[in-house]
Amino acid sequence: MLAYISQRLLQAIPVLVGISVLTFAMLHLVPGDPVEIFAGDKPLTPERAEEIRHQLGLDRPLYVQYFDYASHALRGDLGVGLRSQRPVIDSIVEALPSTLELTSAALLLALAAGVSLGIIAAVAHGSWLDTVAMSFAMLGVSVPVFYSGLLLILFFSFRLGWFPATGQGGAERLVLPSVALGLASAAALARLVRSSMLEVLSQEYVVTARAKGLAERAVILGHALKNALIPTVTLLGLQLGALLGGAVVTETIFSRPGIGRLAVDAIGNRDFPLIQGTVLFAAVTYVLVNLAVDVLYAVIDPRIRYR
């Protein structure tokens, strides 16, 4: 088990390095002179340009710049935001809790709703319940987050007045955003759980369990579900990515603070240190989270560990 974990960690390192190279390169891939980006709107004389270039170390060879960037990043120094003049890392740390809150709530919701719906549909296979459930799931997967968010605000906030439409803090402000964000994941999970449950339920060991005289609930929940969840866990990693990406939109719509909104605003403002910092942070987090999911996968499915 430990060997598996360390192996995956080692495999992750080149990817992490690659991410840092890519985020570093962003500044230089943009058409135009990086100096102009840092200078902002102020008029730029050649002397001033040279000054800035030297100040930022842009006159050094690229690989030197990269090592400087990477070593700073490892120490948590991601530069200073152009707009805010605050350390990027501070902005990120400040925005993080809100995004975490949103994403975990959405994930829990998606798991609870998706898995139950999937089980119900599988058990009621072929009936109207199955068809209705899967139609909803299909719709759920087809609705972009920004649309579901807007619809939820329209109905539950403006028309019914049950929940506030914007802001962060308190459970009531969390409901609509997490539903909007979790909807597509719940739908995807429902479909996956249903199909893997159906596949599992037709396997021989289920027939055996039933023949042994086990109560139906024990068969479904105890035997079938555990195995049906294996492909679900692999989907989890993908869903987390979708959730992180969707958080960007959700935070924008519901005017919540968070990493997603930070990134979008940064891109809109061409604030490159902030863009680089948030992208680096998001990608690294995603890689580590996927690693955790892989380990979880190995815990659930012993066959993986011994490859």
Partner 1 sequence: MAQLSLPAQSKTDQAPPPGRSLARDALRRLAHSNSAIVGGAILLVMMLAALLAPAVSPYDPIKTSQRTSLEAPSAAHPMGTDRFGRDILSRVLWGGRLSLPVGFVSVLIAAAFGISLGLLAGYYGGRLDAVIMRLVDLMLAFPGILLALVIVAILGGSLLNLMIAVGIASIPDYVRIARGTVLSIREREFVLAARTIGAHNTAIIVRHILPNILAPVIVLATLGMASAIITGSTLSFLGLGIKPPTPEWGNMLDEGRGFLQRAWWVAFFPGLAIMLTVFSINLLGDGLRDALDPRLRRK
Binding site for partner 1 (CB under 8 A): 14-15, 18-19, 22, 26, 29-31, 138-139, 141-147, 150-151, 153-154, 158, 240-246, 248-249, 252-253, 263-264, 267-268, 275, 279, 282-283, 286-287
Give me the least distance between CB of 82 and partner 1, in Å please: 14
Residue 70 is which amino acid?
A
Q: At 107, list the tokens.
A: 């994930």
End-to-end CA separation in angstroms for the chain: 11
- Of 160 and 217, nearer to partner 1 (C-beta) is 160
Give me the least distance between CB of 151 and partner 1, in Å please: 7
Query: ∠290-295-301 over CA atoms, to 5°?
Result: 120
- Of 111 and 274, nearer to partner 1 (C-beta) is 274
- Of 225 and 243, nearer to partner 1 (C-beta) is 243
- Of 10 and 212, nearer to partner 1 (C-beta) is 10
d(CA 303, CA 156): 47
d(CA 140, CA 184): 5
Q: At 182, list the tokens.
A: 């979790």
- Of 215 and 238, nearer to partner 1 (C-beta) is 238
- Of 108 and 154, nearer to partner 1 (C-beta) is 154
Give the residue carrying structure tokens 């501070």.
Answer: 90
Give me the least distance between CB of 242 and partner 1, in Å please: 5
With the CA atoms of 254, 257, 263 and 265 taken in that order, what torsion angle do they form, in degrees rounded to the nearest 10? Answer: 70
Q: HEC profile for 186-205? A: HHHHHHHHHHHHHHHHCCHH
Give me the least distance between CB of 120 and partner 1, in Å please: 20
Give me the least distance between CB of 191 and partner 1, in Å please: 9
Query: ∠54-60-65 over CA atoms, to 5°?
Result: 105
Give me the least distance between CB of 264 and partner 1, in Å please: 5
